Structure 1
């Protein structure tokens, strides 16, 4: 780690990057033992409601549920409070994540999207994604989501193997996973499947079987994630037995990448594989250091202005968030990104892209010249972690495999201005 020279640099952005909107839905039927996202179980009485009636739990006074339309109203009020910072800027993508957004009814999603359109400029060709989990699927509901304006689904399959699903604490089995994909493809031509590998007791053949099943459906996008044991999760407290070792995990990763490439999927980001023209536009905006408003419990946002970049986070607990919005103060923390942190934050996103980025984008998105990180780039080149020509910077295969080591080069030292 070497000093990044920012002396005598004023910085500042000449043009603002594209703007996205992230919306967080914090409720789940069950908290998965590997999940470190801001999600909260609702607890209806046994047999009192079906999963697809989950949003009515709060109204019926059963357990610890939620009122979906009240939450929609809260989201719209939160968005209104965000408007001064983004006034006049079009929103190019919307992503509804969680939690499990598909616990909300099509009527709630329709009201939400209509409310957003009434308050801001939504690009007519905006990619609008909703996350959904098998076990919350019904044919009529997903027809309603499509009619509401959602045009992309991201389904949390994780595995098609019932044994591995059980080990991951998922509420669905293999048959429900397949049925979910089939229903999704009935109404959507842009579908992502989330899959995990390096699961407890998983073999290389089993990992590839999941990938082959996903490929056979012809979905436009597949995300393949290595199971990671995150702090503050049940798996961190009770480590699952018989996890694949590093060598087997690496073999899985390489075999999965090769299998997807052979099937026509482009490996464009660390864990993302899309058919040509079907990359996740919302996520690409993140990875290209674009801007995004984040509304909903625990949502994060990044907003650029000509004098700098601000990051903010909403209150995480749903009740605290709802009250904060009612009080007109939904943001729990807000800070301006210091110039010394900009190179690392930029690289932390852009170097996830296997094709790298045009060098000019560094200046466009940070307001700093590439020359201020020249020594770091030279070190990365010397270590074989990146390739650089007159217009582009891209991670090598070694840089992709050792991304954390590569990113460390761009961390600022304590005491640096």
Structure 2
């Protein structure tokens, strides 16, 4: 019988003001207001349908993602969180994160979000340069981003992430590093810094903009690592950097192959069953209209992870972490023996991609992570 891992909750809010041309998330441009009351009702019913997956555990983290969750009112969040606490215990140090956009219309809501119980924000800045924001289809400008950060600090948020991209259309080395310097100077507790990638089913995929050359991308990356380290931010995951003790607990649970319930249109979950030892993933219906319909179930599908799936599923998560995990966690989280992947580990060690004493990528392994993962696939 597997010991159950920590439990998190992901809540998807699928609406946004405008769909960004690079975005492949399940988000839908608003045509009118959010059906907030009906959606909160549906989220609570969706959670009730998953209540058997709790198995006596408490919630360690909650993450409201989207879309643009900050389009929902503080009253809506307060109602949802109050009702949720009647259904499941919250840990005493629960982390409750909400993604937010820095548009000025949201600033006055920050204080009320804090009162509702949200104690961490992830602000989708992406760039501090107006021309780059315009190219990305963002609805805010750089001045609004600075004001939003000043505002959220003044309204009680001392734990927040700045989401920042590099490798943007027309971006020079100087541009990329300038954005990063401005983010560091604002002294967030966490910076998510990652390269723009062109994903299928996006506007950028069909109308690809001119992106920086590989040499420029590498220079931004290398010099950016030095800037972040000098600014007191330690890289602990591929694109995540934090000040001491401020790693994103919700994401760490993902990366350590913990369990999470996913509710909301298009949300995904991963659950371990205590009695059977089965590990499965499930996903919810994507379209908000279908999710809100009484004629359709919330769950769109699920699949059990087989013994063939588990090694790569586990490694795809834990090898994102700079420090990796103890070898014992493989058995603890999958129910398989470490001997089941010993030959792959030896191959990865021989190639200089994996540390010998733990499931941790070497520096070379982090740079060539896809090559490392192929060994376990």
Please confirm whether the aligned pair reaches a TM-score higher than 0.5, indicating the same fold: yes
Higher relative contact order (CA 8 A, sep 6+): 1
Report the equivalent of 2:137.
Answer: 169
Contact 2:318-2:325 at 8 Å conserved across structures: yes
Are positions 1:30 and 2:18 aligned together? yes
| Among 353, 369, 374, the residue aligned to 1:403 | 369
Are positions 1:314 and 2:284 aligned together? yes
**Counterpart Cα distance in 1 of 2:117 and 2:335:** 36
How far the C-alpha of 1:35 sits from its partner, in A, is 0.3
**Counterpart Cα distance in 2 of 1:287 and 1:233:** 26
Contact 1:103-1:136 at 8 Å conserved across structures: no
**Counterpart Cα distance in 2 of 1:388 and 1:190:** 35
| Among 227, 235, 240, the residue aligned to 2:209 | 240
How far the C-alpha of 1:329 sits from its partner, in A, is 2.3
| Among 265, 271, 278, the residue aligned to 2:233 | 265
How far the C-alpha of 1:272 sits from its partner, in A, is 0.1
How far the C-alpha of 1:43 sits from its partner, in A, is 2.7
**Counterpart Cα distance in 2 of 1:76 and 1:122:** 16
How far the C-alpha of 1:87 sits from its partner, in A, is 3.3
| Among 74, 83, 86, the residue aligned to 1:115 | 83
Unaligned runs of 5+ in 1: 1-12, 45-56, 58-65, 412-417
Q: CA offsets, 1:74-93, max 9 Å, x none?
A: 10111111101213211100
**Counterpart Cα distance in 2 of 1:320 and 1:70:** 13
How far the C-alpha of 1:134 sits from its partner, in A, is 1.3
**Counterpart Cα distance in 2 of 1:274 and 1:286:** 17
RMSD in angstroms over aligned alpha carbons? Answer: 1.1
**Counterpart Cα distance in 1 of 2:209 and 2:31:** 25
| Among 197, 201, 219, the residue aligned to 2:166 | 197
How far the C-alpha of 1:138 sits from its partner, in A, is 3.7
Contact 1:137-1:180 at 8 Å conserved across structures: no
Report the equivalent of 1:352.
Answer: 320
Question: What secondary structure, in the 3-state scheme, does the structure 2 residue paired with 1:316 have?
Answer: coil
Report the equivalent of 1:18.
Answer: 6
Contact 2:290-2:296 at 8 Å conserved across structures: no
**The 10-residue stretch of structure 1 (93-102 or 367-376) with the greater mean CA deviation from structure 2:** 367-376
- Give TM-score, length-normalised by structure 1: 0.88
How far the C-alpha of 1:328 sits from its partner, in A, is 7.3
- Give TM-score, length-normalised by structure 2: 0.97
Residues 80 and 327 of structure 1: CA distance in aligned 2, closer, same or farther (over 3 Å): farther
Q: CA offsets, 1:346-372, max 9 Å, x none?
A: 000000001111000011000111111
Contact 2:237-2:322 at 8 Å conserved across structures: yes
Higher Rg: 1
Contact 1:380-1:386 at 8 Å conserved across structures: yes
How far the C-alpha of 1:393 sits from its partner, in A, is 2.3
**Counterpart Cα distance in 2 of 1:304 and 1:168:** 39
Contact 1:138-1:183 at 8 Å conserved across structures: no
Report the equivalent of 2:28.
Answer: 40
Report the equivalent of 1:228.
Answer: 197
Question: What secondary structure, in the 3-state scheme, does the structure 2 residue paired with 1:156 have?
Answer: strand
